[in-house]
Amino acid sequence: MRLNPFRSLPNPRQVWAWGMYDLANQSFTLLILTLFFGVFFTKTVVGGVPPGTSAEQIANDPIAAAAVARGNVLWGRAIAISSLIVVVLSPFLGALADFTGRKKAMLIWLGLLCAVITVLLAITGPGAVVLAMSLFILANVGFMLGENFLASFLPELSTRETIGRISAIGWTMGYIGALICLPMALLIPGLREQSVEGYRWLFAFAGIWFFINIVPAMALLAERKKPEPLPPGASLWTIGFARVIDSALHVGRYRQLAVFLTFFCIYCCGMQVIIAFAGIIAQQYLPVPQLILFAFVLAGVSAIGSTLSGMFQDRIGQRLTVQISLVIWVLTCIGAALMPAVNPARWVLWCVGVGVGLGLGLTGAASRALVGVLTPAHKTAEFFGLWGMGYKIANVIGPPLYGVIFAWKGQQWALGFVGLFFVVGLIGTFFVDVMRGRAAAEDAEREFASQTDIRDIAAAAQISAKELEHVKRTSETDAGRAS
């Protein structure tokens, strides 16, 4: 029982189903976004070189090197375009979900969209640049919007005392998914040899994995918020705009959340670069079997980091947990920037990988939990939409900027620049007053509850008045008939 993370939870089945969505989407996060599709896109689709071509061979061929550099730029742009679409849609869809009480439906449909389009990535190949970019952008939009809605369930599944633990459960289940699907990927025919067909089978496997493992969320995750009636003359889209504008006008009330989301966006620029380019960087030094082993170790360390986060972040606080993780990120970026571009010592590469794993495990779980602490319960989808928007703005800025600096000054300079995002984010977290932000969220919840009670009383009073009027008219009619 001590090893059971769901012990003492009042809703273990729903928390498990919620975590299974995190487990499911690891096939897209790890296999598509981080490890393989970026490599396939930059080298084969855009660069026109066989997937197994070494970094040294590409460097010795100026034409191939220029083509692969163009692939890095286009890969950054594809991530930026999909992220920009999500930036525009996130707050409005979040507000709509809060108003209509259909967060679960949106979550499931977005997951299905991502799964189906991921399978379709298998039809891409050398020279199919527009098709590959279009399919990836659509799949990434589904994946990122789904992340927003998944995170918005966190405050409903937890209390402010257990939010760190439950957030870490979901994050850890995601990395467990990575630890399961990575060895399965090694069994795919042709992947070890880095053939085009091997990559295509891998993309199909990733989409099928996603689809199968969101079934528990379909079956068990519950919608808690009841729909609100639309005001006369309003539509869902006008309501969505109105809710977002209202949040913007009252952002001063949630100042601590606004400050945190600002610096969260800054350090996420660095995280998103690592996620988007880790596979492209690592494949320069490692063949596919060792690359998968490297990712397996990275996912295992991330799971350990997320588990440790769940054990102590509710005690020491989410802000301090985030700060510890950002220190790890800064040290990791320094190590990566100092690592030689050709034939680095393997122990240095593994140390950098361990740093990335710890950073991902600690930062993700603690950041999501801190947003939940600072968010009023009646604005969860809306504010987690803003949280997701911070992630996506980081994608619009970080990966394209890394691609430009990489093409201009090289990998070491680009990685050193990434470290600045974590330094600025670390400094910014000291300006977040968690206790004051939590108090503001709780005050807003009490005010919303009292307004809801007042509306209910007013509605009941209106019904009573109508009933009295009906009785009065009936009595007058009966009296008239009697006379």
Report how far residue 266's alpha carbon sits from residue 428's, in angstroms, rounded to the nearest whole number: 9
pLDDT tens readout for residues 292-328: 888 888 778 877 777 777 677 777 888 898 999 899 9
Is residue 425 a contact partner of residue 264, using CB atoms and an 8 Å limit?
A: yes
pLDDT tens, 146-181? 987 887 787 788 776 777 678 778 877 887 888 888
DSSP, res 158: -
pLDDT at 13 over 60: yes
Residue 172: which of 16, 32, 324 has the closest Cα?
16
> How close are the terminal C-alpha atoms of the chain, in Å?
80
pLDDT of residue 189 exceeding 80: yes
Q: How many other C-beta atoms are found inside a 10 Å radius of the C-beta of residue 451?
A: 11
Average pLDDT over residues 259-267: 91
pLDDT at residue 26, as a whole number? 86
237: pLDDT confidence band, cut at 50, 70 and 90?
low
Higher-scoring residue by pLDDT: 462, 59: 59
Give residue 390's pLDDT band: very low, low, confident or very high (50, 70, 90). Answer: confident
Q: How far is CA 96 from CA 99, 224, 240, 254, 349, in A?
A: 5, 15, 5, 20, 45
Q: What is the token pair recorded at 315?
A: 């005690």
Average the pLDDT over each of 8-12, 196-200, 239-243, 332-336 and give the range with the smallest value.
239-243
Query: 453 or 170: which carries more pLDDT confidence?
Result: 170
pLDDT at 353: 82
Q: Band the pLDDT of 221: cuts 50, 70, 90.
A: confident
Count Cβ atoms within 10 A of the Cβ of residue 477 and give its class: 0-12 exposed, 13-18 middle, 19 or more buried.
Answer: exposed
If one counts every other C-beta atom within 10 angstroms of the C-beta of residue 273, the result is 30
Cα distances (angstroms) measured from residue 280 to each of 49, 156, 400 = 14, 38, 14
Pick from 201-210, 295-304, 345-354, 459-468: least confident: 459-468
Output 54 or 85, whichever has higher pLDDT: 85
Q: Which pair of tokens denotes residue 314?
A: 């509710």
Q: What percent of the chain has pLDDT over 70?
A: 81
User: Could you tell me which of 376, 44, 265, 308 has the C-alpha nearest to residue 168?
Assistant: 308
Q: How far apart are CA 369 and CA 375, in angstroms?
A: 10
Q: Where are the domains of the chain?
A: 13-222+253-432
Sign (positive/negative) of CA torsion 279, 281, 284, 286? negative
pLDDT at position 54, please?
64
| pTM as predicted | 0.73
d(CA 322, CA 318): 6
**C-alpha–C-alpha distance, residues 348 and 326, integer Å:** 20
Asked whether the beta carbons of 21 and 111 are under 8 A apart, the reply is: yes
Fold of 13-222+253-432: Growth Hormone; Chain: A; (1.20.1250)
Ramachandran category for residue 188: left, alpha or beta (phi over 0 → left; psi -120 to 50 → alpha): beta
For residue 472, pLDDT beyond 60: no
Confidence of residue 135 (pLDDT cuts 50, 70, 90): very high
Average pLDDT, the chain: 80
For residue 172, what are the contacts with CB-CB under 8 A and spacing of at least 6?
5, 19, 303, 306, 307, 310, 361, 365
pLDDT at 130 over 90: yes
How does DSSP classify residue 379?
G
